[in-house]
Amino acid sequence: MKIFIGADHKGYSLKQRLSAMLKDQGHEVTDVGTHSEDSSDYPDYGLQVARAVAEGRADRGITICWTGNGMSIAANKIAGVRAGLCLNEDMAMLTRAHNDANVCSLASRYVTPEDAEKIVHVFLSTVFEGGRHRQRLEKIAAAEKK
Residues noted as catalytic: 65, 98
Q: How many angstroms separate the most distant Cα atoms in the chain?
A: 45
What DSSP character marks residue 128? P
Q: Which residues does 114 contact at the CB level (< 8 Å), separation at least 6?
A: none
25: helix, strand or coil: coil
For residue 87, count CB atoms less than 10 angstroms from its CB and return exposed for 0-12, middle for 13-18, buried for 19 or more: middle
Contacts made by residues 24-29, CB under 8 angstroms, sequence distance 24+: 27/1, 27/2, 27/3, 27/124, 28/1, 28/2, 28/3, 29/3, 29/4, 29/5
Amino acid at 137: L
